[in-house]
Amino acid sequence: MLNGSEYFMCNLSVITVNFNNSNGLKKTIESVLSQKLILQDSVEYLIIDGGSSDDSVEVIKEFSNRTDLHLRITDWISEKDKGIYNAMNKGIGMSHGKYVIFMNSGDVFYSENILESVLKKIENAGNSILYGDTFYDKPDNQGSFWYLPDELTLNYLCEYGICHQSTFIPLKLLKKNLYDESLFIAADLKFNIQSYLSGIAFEKMNIVVSSLDMTGISNTNIERSAKERELIVSSLVPLGIINEMKKNKEETLSIWINYYKSLIRNRTCYTMALFMIKIVNKIGKIFHFLHD
């Protein structure tokens, strides 16, 4: 670990949060440290481990001594935390970059050139939140891409959200509005909706930023994720706007369900299609809940 005198200002902080996922952590660290950059000091890499009892700390130490990769681990801690968002907030407190991205254990960048592309955009981004597209990685090689719209609407943000592994957020904004640690899965959604409603600009980058581990917490706790989304949307979005969004809900949900059913009939992305139908149906329940 580094001491205070070794810290430096940089353009981007990459933060990995981990707990007892040494295999996923190794994959993520390799992906981050393999990023090809013209100026290596423009990026810092921080790892926040929750006091893991597996081999996670050994993995961190091993990579800390590696000299054959493009980047290095700037700083890391391993101590008990109060959950994933408490750990993410710790990472924010340790960050020195103009922008921050969370690439948690098991997730990887889609290619070795992602950060160099993003750094060019950060130079002129102002205080905008930058977001890109995502690849959903599946063990059976039936992955698929999630392409986000060029312009985010409140409707889209509430229904689908955006992937934090493909989102770059100004550090000043994060420090002003830390993640809600009372939430288990969807505090990043709450942060994004609050930012949108406060007038923060969201700017699309036409690149696939990350490859998402589908065994992550938000993908294996669908019921709890949907419940938290209900509470967040109902507490933040005015009822009049919710009613406007609900007008086109039934038609939109029907289109999506029919699309994914067609994938099942054609045996295309079968597992992913089943998963997405569950998600779409959950979204429908959310808006029924809000309306009732």
pLDDT tens-digit map of 179-203: 999 999 999 999 999 999 999 999 9
Report pLDDT for 258: 53
Residue 51 in this model has a pLDDT that exceeds 70: yes
Residue 5 in this model has a pLDDT that exceeds 50: no
Report pLDDT for 76: 98
Residue 89 in this model has a pLDDT that exceeds 70: yes
Of 153-162, 174-183, 259-268, the one with minimum mean pLDDT is 259-268
Which position has the higher pLDDT, 171 or 243?
A: 171
The string of pLDDT tens digits covering residues 7-22 is 456 899 999 999 999 9
Residue 56 in this model has a pLDDT that exceeds 50: yes
Q: What predicted TM-score, i.e. pTM, was given to this entire model?
A: 0.81
Place 38 in a pLDDT band, splitting at 50, 70 and 90.
Answer: confident
Q: Which residue, 173, 271, 289, is CA-closest to 234?
A: 289
The string of pLDDT tens digits covering residues 115-163 is 999 999 998 888 999 999 999 877 666 778 889 999 998 888 988 899 9
CATH numbers and ranges of domains, the chain = 4-213 (3.90.550.10)
Which position has the higher pLDDT, 145 or 30?
A: 30
Percent of the chain whose predicted confidence (pLDDT) is above 90:
60
On average, the pLDDT of the chain sits at 83
- pLDDT (mean) for 29-34: 97
- pLDDT (mean) for 225-246: 80
Report pLDDT for 237: 85
